[in-house]
């Protein structure tokens, strides 16, 4: 499908992508670049990597598809740095957890007949980060949200859609703003609730953690995510996230009122509606 693709920032997502692309024949050659020398050395030893470069500009040279897998704050600046080194027909995407701010940073900066950027957000991952946890089947069965701008060439949208589909992902196409509203609710809000829960329990008797069952472990798993990566995501999407938190707080108030008034029917009804939602996930 592509003769040469470049992964910028081969961490958990980037390295998993490279593995998946190589093993399923979507890419003949994979080039990478990482900011850190250690990661570049690790890439050099990886069998999914054909060449490692010291600069992003060199790594993208001659590539047909460039996937930016670096922290969200760096995506737009990195793209603007490499775009002059690309073939006009090159396609650029990313795997960032936010889209509106990134797309605003890029809008109007790309020449009409030059490389195309289309945002992607594969809804796959883990609380773990880094190449060591990468695996070729990370994306299988998960959803990929794509955020093509209205002026994106149809051929580019088709090619990128086919790429994610070949990794066995389900695709949905939304605007960058819709994307951010959706993930504020289904990803960023759950993350912050898990973090607030853990932050609160950390202030309690240390021993209580030893008593916890699988419920707390599952509920709080995502709070183990990388603080620096998540800080960037949360601040980039803060408007939608604050709206989602407010909506959640309203719901929690209603649940609290049912408990306060010992209204067992209202409480059962609330828990049943929540169960109904969860059962369909």
Which residues inside 194-213 make contact with a second copy, applying CB under 8 A?
A: 194-205, 207-213
Q: Which is nearer to a second copy, 51 or 172 (CB)?
A: 172
Each residue 164-193 as x (binds a second copy by CB under 8 A) or -, in order, gives ------x-x---------xx-xxx-xxxxx
Within residues 141-160, the interface with a second copy by CB under 8 A covers 142-143, 145
Closer to a second copy by CB, 80 or 271: give it.
271
Q: Please give the backbone phi and psi of residue 30, each rounded to the nearest 5 degrees, phi first.
A: -120, 120
Tell me how far, at minimum, the Cβ of 158 lies from a second copy, in Å. 21
Query: Which segments of 90-134 does DSSP mark as H helices, in order?
Result: 100-106
d(CA 98, CA 199): 24
What number of chain residues touch a second copy (CB under 8 A)?
A: 91
223 binds a second copy (CB under 8 A): yes
- Window 236-265: residues binding a second copy (CB under 8 A): 238, 241-242, 245, 247-252, 254-256, 259-260, 262, 264
Question: What CA–CA distance (Å, rounded) separates 190 from 122?
Answer: 17
What is the phi/psi pair of residue 131, to 5°?
A: -55, -30
Select 74 or 219, whichever has its Cβ closest to a second copy.
219
Backbone φ and ψ for 147, nearest 5 degrees, come out as: -125, 60
Least distance CB 91 / a second copy (angstroms): 23
Pick one of 80, 132, 155, 272: the residue that binds a second copy (CB under 8 A).
Answer: 272
CA gyration radius, the chain: 21
> Which of 38, 88, 154, 278 is the binder for a second copy (CB under 8 A)?
278
Find the shortest distance in angstroms from Cβ 171 to a second copy: 10
Of 269, 48, 58, 222, the closest CA to residue 128 belongs to 222
Smallest separation, CB 185 to a second copy (Å)? 6
User: Distance between CA 107 and CA 117 in Å, rounded?
Assistant: 9
Residue 58 in the binding site for a second copy (CB under 8 A)? no
Q: How far apart are CA 209 and CA 38, in angstroms?
A: 35
Structure tokens, 177:
């703003």
Our finding on whether 41 is near a second copy (CB under 8 A) is no
CB 62 within 8 A of CB 88: no
Give min distance, CB of 102 to a second copy, in A: 17
Binding to a second copy (CB under 8 A) within 79-138 occurs at 123-127
| Nearest alpha carbon to residue 136 among 124, 128, 123 | 124
Contact (Cβ atoms closer than 8 angstroms) between residue 92 and residue 68: yes
């Amino acid at each position: 499908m592509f003769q040469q693709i470049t992964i910028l920032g081969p961490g958990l997502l980037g390295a998993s992508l490279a593995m998946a692309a190589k093993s399923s024949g979507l890419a003949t050659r994979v080039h990478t670049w990482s900011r850190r020398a250690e990661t570049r050395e690790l890439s050099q030893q990886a069998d999914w990597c054909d060449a490692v470069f010291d600069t992003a500009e060199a790594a993208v040279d001659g590539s047909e598809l460039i996937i930016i897998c670096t922290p969200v704050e760096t995506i737009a600046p990195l793209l603007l740095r490499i775009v002059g080194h690309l073939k006009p027909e090159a396609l650029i995407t990313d795997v960032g957890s936010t889209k509106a701010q990134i797309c605003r940073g890029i809008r109007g900066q790309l020449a009409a007949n030059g490389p195309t950027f289309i945002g992607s957000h594969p809804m796959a991952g883990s609380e773990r980060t880094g190449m060591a946890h990468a695996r070729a089947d990370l994306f299988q069965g998960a959803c990929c949200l794509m955020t093509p701008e209205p002026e994106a060439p149809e051929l580019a949208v088709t090619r990128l859609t086919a790429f994610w589909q070949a990794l066995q992902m389900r695709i949905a196409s939304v605007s960058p703003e819709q994307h951010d509203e959706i993930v504020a609710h289904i990803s960023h809000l759950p993350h912050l609730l898990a973090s607030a829960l853990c932050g609160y329990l950390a202030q309690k008797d240390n021993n209580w953690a030893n008593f916890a069952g699988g419920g707390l472990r599952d509920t709080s798993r995502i709070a183990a995510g990388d603080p620096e990566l998540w800080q960037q995501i949360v601040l980039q999407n803060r408007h939608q996230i604050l709206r989602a938190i407010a909506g959640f707080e309203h719901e929690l108030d209603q649940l609290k009122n049912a408990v306060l008034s010992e209204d067992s029917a209202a409480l059962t009804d609330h828990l049943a509606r929540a169960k109904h939602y969860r059962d369909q996930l």
